[in-house]
């Protein structure tokens, strides 16, 4: 059997059994297609499963090296960190494919696992401030082109900030999901098919209830957030609405629907919520993922200290004014 013939089964495995996101599946499929195209040229013909089992670390390094030097506008314009992340994703895709070949076709090859995963910088969450996050739903909705879109967007963006959902999780909801566990609770299916219960604040429940009274097709199996043609709203539409709002508001490119999830977690932590509770609310598998919000808050506190505390400017003032600060004591 040729390696190419197993790709469709691998994609089904990723999406249905591993519950990988559509974006991850698409990226992995793209990376594997490039890998197989390179190996076809590298080996002098399309690789079969036996050839995949014989590939060495050197063969796989040759592919990664080829990708790092391949011409392309997107690659040349990307930052070093972005290129490192792309390399890490390609290696992850190859490792996932080899795990599948081992489980389903008995092909065992440790070459991919022996390659060192590139070390990427941890990206700290960039939340909105509380006032901006609270105002976002109504201000975004004002830009809607129809009364239906405006009412829908108030509910959608209130839910994202008020419950910390990913945009894909919110758009996957049906109307019936609101009543399935009583008022004030949602069961969310997140990454990897993992489920969690999310309590709803009264303001969020009120926004959803108001939207349901205006919903064009209030049937239990209808999408909670439909597009103009009645189908499920696409993430790109919600992202575009927020992009238009941030441009008019003079906000940075980090202000996305996912930034509302960051804001939910950060504002909870700032007001005393413990990390374990935030982990459960966000649906993180690992506490280390949730601890990123601690690092972001430390960075924010250091900036507040640097901007506001008189002693934070001591060294700079001393450099600017000879003799300044002499005779000072204390810590």
179-203 pLDDT tens trace: 765 558 888 888 777 788 888 889 9
- CA distances to 3, 32, 40, 183, 217 from 45, in Å: 11, 16, 5, 60, 54
Assigned domain for 122 exists: no
CATH number of the domain at 159, please: 1.10.443.10
Same domain, yes or no, for 77 and 139? no
Catalytic residue among 246, 261, 262, 267: 261
**Annotation marks residue 284 as catalytic:** yes
pLDDT of residue 23: 81
Same domain, yes or no, for 51 and 139? no
User: 3-class DSSP state for residue 295?
Assistant: helix
Assigned domain for 298 exists: no
Q: How confident is the model at residue 4 (pLDDT cuts 50, 70, 90)?
A: very high
pLDDT of residue 286: 73
pLDDT digits (tens, 9 = 90+) for 15-39: 888 878 788 899 999 999 999 999 9
Same domain, yes or no, for 146 and 233? yes
How many CB atoms are located within 10 Å of the residue 26 CB? 13
Catalytic residue among 90, 152, 258, 262: 258
Same domain, yes or no, for 104 and 140? no
CATH number of the domain at 7, please: 1.10.150
Computed over every residue of the chain, the mean pLDDT equals 83
Assigned domain for 286 exists: yes
Same domain, yes or no, for 245 and 284? yes
CA 205 to chain centre: 25
Of 48, 96, 263, 239, nearest to 156 by C-alpha is 239
Q: Bin 34: left if φ > 0, else alpha if -120 < ψ < 50, else beta.
A: alpha
Same domain, yes or no, for 155 and 250? yes
Residue 74 has pLDDT above 50, yes or no: no
Assigned domain for 303 exists: no
Catalytic residue among 90, 166, 246, 262: 166
Q: How confident is the model at residue 131 (pLDDT cuts 50, 70, 90)?
A: very high
Q: How confident is the model at residue 78 (pLDDT cuts 50, 70, 90)?
A: low
Assigned domain for 329 exists: no
Distance between CA atoms of 64 and 50, rounded to whole angstroms?
Answer: 21
Residue 117 has pLDDT above 90, yes or no: no
Q: How confident is the model at residue 324 (pLDDT cuts 50, 70, 90)?
A: very low
> 56, 79, 114: which is the final residue of a domain?
114
**Annotation marks residue 100 as catalytic:** no
Assigned domain for 65 exists: yes
pLDDT of residue 329: 33
Same domain, yes or no, for 68 and 143? no
pLDDT of residue 300: 56
State the residue range of the domain holding 90: 3-114
The model's pTM: 0.62
Residue 247 has pLDDT above 60, yes or no: yes
Vertex 19 angle, CA 14 and 22, to 5°: 75
Same domain, yes or no, for 65 and 214? no
The mean pLDDT value for 245-272 works out to: 89
Same domain, yes or no, for 161 and 104? no
Q: Which residue has the higher pLDDT, 309 or 321?
A: 309
pLDDT of residue 178: 85
Same domain, yes or no, for 57 and 180? no
**Annotation marks residue 121 as catalytic:** no
Distance between CA atoms of 265 and 281, rounded to whole angstroms?
Answer: 9
Assigned domain for 323 exists: no
Confirm if 275 and 291 have CB atoms less than 8 A apart.
yes
Residue 119 has pLDDT above 80, yes or no: no
Same domain, yes or no, for 109 and 251? no
pLDDT digits (tens, 9 = 90+) for 197-228: 888 889 999 999 999 999 999 899 999 999 98
Assigned domain for 23 exists: yes
User: 3-class DSSP state for residue 221?
Assistant: coil
**Annotation marks residue 293 as catalytic:** yes
Residue 76 has pLDDT above 60, yes or no: no
Work out how many domains the chain is built from and give that number.
Answer: 2
Which run of H or E residues covers position 185?
strand 185-189
Catalytic residue among 191, 196, 243, 254: 191
**Annotation marks residue 299 as catalytic:** no
Distance between CA atoms of 310 and 318, rounded to whole angstroms?
Answer: 12
Same domain, yes or no, for 98 and 138? no
What share of the chain has pLDDT > 70, as a percent? Answer: 81
């Amino acid at each position: 059997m040729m390696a190419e013939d197993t790709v469709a089964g691998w994609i089904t495995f990723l999406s249905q059994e591993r519950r990988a996101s559509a974006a991850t599946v698409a990226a992995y499929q793209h990376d594997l297609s490039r890998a197989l195209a390179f190996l076809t040229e590298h080996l002098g013909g399309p690789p079969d499963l036996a050839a995949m089992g014989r590939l060495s670390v050197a063969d796989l390094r040759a592919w990664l090296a080829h990708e790092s030097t391949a011409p392309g506008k997107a690659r040349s314009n990307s930052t070093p960190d972005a290129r490192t992340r792309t390399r890490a994703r390609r290696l992850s895709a190859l490792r996932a494919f080899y795990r599948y070949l081992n489980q389903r076709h008995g092909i065992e090859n440790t070459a991919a696992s022996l390659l060192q995963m590139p070390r990427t910088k941890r990206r700290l969450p960039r939340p909105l401030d509380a006032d901006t996050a609270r105002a976002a739903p109504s201000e975004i909705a004002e830009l809607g082109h129809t009364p239906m879109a405006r009412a829908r967007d108030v509910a959608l963006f209130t839910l994202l900030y008020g419950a910390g959902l990913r945009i894909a999780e919110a758009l996957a909801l049906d109307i019936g999901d609101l009543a399935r566990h009583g008022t004030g609770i949602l069961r969310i299916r997140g990454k990897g098919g993992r489920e969690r219960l999310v309590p709803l604040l009264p303001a969020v429940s009120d926004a959803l209830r108001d939207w349901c009274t205006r919903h064009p097709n209030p049937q239990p199996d209808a999408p909670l957030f439909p597009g103009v043609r009645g189908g499920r709203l696409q993430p790109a539409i919600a992202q575009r609405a927020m992009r238009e709002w941030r441009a008019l508001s003079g906000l940075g490119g980090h202000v996305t629907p996912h930034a509302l999830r960051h804001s939910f977690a950060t504002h909870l932590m700032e007001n005393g919520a413990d990390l374990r509770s935030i982990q459960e609310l966000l649906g993180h598998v690992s506490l280390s993922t949730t601890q990123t919000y601690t690092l972001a808050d430390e960075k924010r506190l250091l900036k507040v200290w640097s901007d506001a505390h008189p002693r934070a400017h001591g060294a700079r003032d001393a450099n600017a004014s000879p003799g300044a600060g002499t005779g000072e004591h204390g810590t």
